[in-house]
């Protein structure tokens, strides 16, 4: 073989690289989680005295106004009760407000994003006020912040019975037009005393690996054309 790599070896390489893209051997990439970008609202750590604290630096208030009627805080105890977090010891407590976070990783064409978050009234002292939660993942054009393409929108309603429930949603593959755009996650509630914890934003299928697998196909096609032309 003057070309060094036999057709049989080339076919094997294509098969292996193709499988490489399909098998989630490296697991999901975590963009927000209990220990990543404060997805569990554990930071800053609260002392035993404080009941509530303003939203930490990793998240920004949607509505900068203060109570009443706008409220964003971290809660650990309410009226002397023990923690009711679904993950860790603290959770997000909001009223008529929202928070958002722009993730350092940018949107990647072909990637699928998964969002999961626990919602409900973790603060059992505030039951009796039904809640509507909106979970939104957007791609934002870095050169024009007003240019926004929605990737995930989830709206859930909670009867407020002190039980944590889990929302989960998945995006369609990101279009090439949004490749490199910023990713912004927003959690918002109209009212009343709504709690969120354990936010997880992940990329279940690393698009780069899938593209690596598909990328070997044109190589094989070119090689076949070359072989046919010189035979």
Report helix angle 207-230 to 7-22, nearest 10.
160
- In Å, how far are 30, 37, 41, 99 from 83, measured between CA atoms? 26, 21, 13, 22
Which of 72, 85, 99, 152 forms a contact with Ca ion (CB under 5 A)? 85
Looking at the Cβ atoms of 18 and 130, the one nearer to Ca ion is 130
Is residue 138 close enough to count as binding Ca ion by CB under 5 A? no
Q: Residue count at the site for Ca ion (CB under 5 A)?
A: 12
Query: By CB under 5 A, which span of 3-11, 122-130, 181-189, 222-230 interacts with Ca ion?
Result: 122-130
Query: By CB under 5 A, which span of 43-51, 64-72, 80-88, 178-186 interacts with Ca ion?
Result: 80-88
Residues 89 and 79: their CA atoms lie apart, in Å, by 16
Query: By CB under 5 A, which span of 24-32, 43-51, 104-112, 158-166 interacts with Ca ion?
Result: 158-166
Is residue 87 close enough to count as binding Ca ion by CB under 5 A? yes
Is residue 131 close enough to count as binding Ca ion by CB under 5 A? yes
Burial degree of 42 (CB within 10 A; 0-12, 13-18, 19+): buried
Residues 169 and 178: their CA atoms lie apart, in Å, by 19
Identify the three-state secondary structure at position 176.
helix
Burial degree of 215 (CB within 10 A; 0-12, 13-18, 19+): middle
Contact 34, 87 (CB under 8 A): yes
Is residue 88 close enough to count as binding Ca ion by CB under 5 A? yes
Which of 40, 95, 101, 182 forms a contact with Ca ion (CB under 5 A)? 40
Which of 33, 55, 193, 206 forms a contact with Ca ion (CB under 5 A)? 193
Looking at the Cβ atoms of 129 and 168, the one nearer to Ca ion is 129
Query: By CB under 5 A, which span of 45-53, 145-153, 155-163, 201-209 interacts with Ca ion?
Result: 155-163
């Amino acid at each position: 073989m003057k070309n060094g790599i036999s057709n049989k070896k080339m076919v094997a390489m294509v098969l292996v690289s193709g499988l490489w893209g399909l098998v989630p051997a490296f697991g999901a990439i975590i963009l927000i989680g209990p220990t990543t970008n404060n997805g569990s609202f554990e930071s800053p750590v609260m002392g035993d005295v404080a009941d509530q604290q303003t939203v930490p630096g990793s998240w920004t208030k949607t509505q900068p106004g203060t109570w009443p009627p706008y409220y964003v805080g971290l809660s650990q105890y309410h009226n002397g009760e023990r923690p009711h977090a679904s993950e860790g010891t603290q959770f997000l407590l909001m009223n008529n407000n929202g928070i958002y976070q722009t993730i350092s990783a940018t949107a990647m064409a072909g990637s699928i994003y998964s969002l999961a978050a626990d919602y409900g009234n973790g603060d059992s002292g505030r039951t009796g006020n039904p809640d509507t939660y909106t979970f939104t993942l957007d791609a934002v054009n870095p050169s024009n912040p007003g240019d926004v393409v929605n990737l995930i929108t989830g709206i859930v309603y909670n009867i407020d019975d002190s039980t944590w429930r889990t929302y989960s949603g998945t995006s369609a593959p990101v279009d090439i037009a949004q490749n490199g755009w910023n990713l912004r996650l927003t959690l918002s509630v109209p009212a009343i005393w709504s709690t969120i914890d354990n936010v997880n934003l992940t990329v279940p299928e690393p698009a780069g690996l899938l593209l690596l697998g598909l990328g070997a196909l044109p190589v094989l096609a070119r090689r076949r054309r070359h072989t046919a032309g010189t035979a």
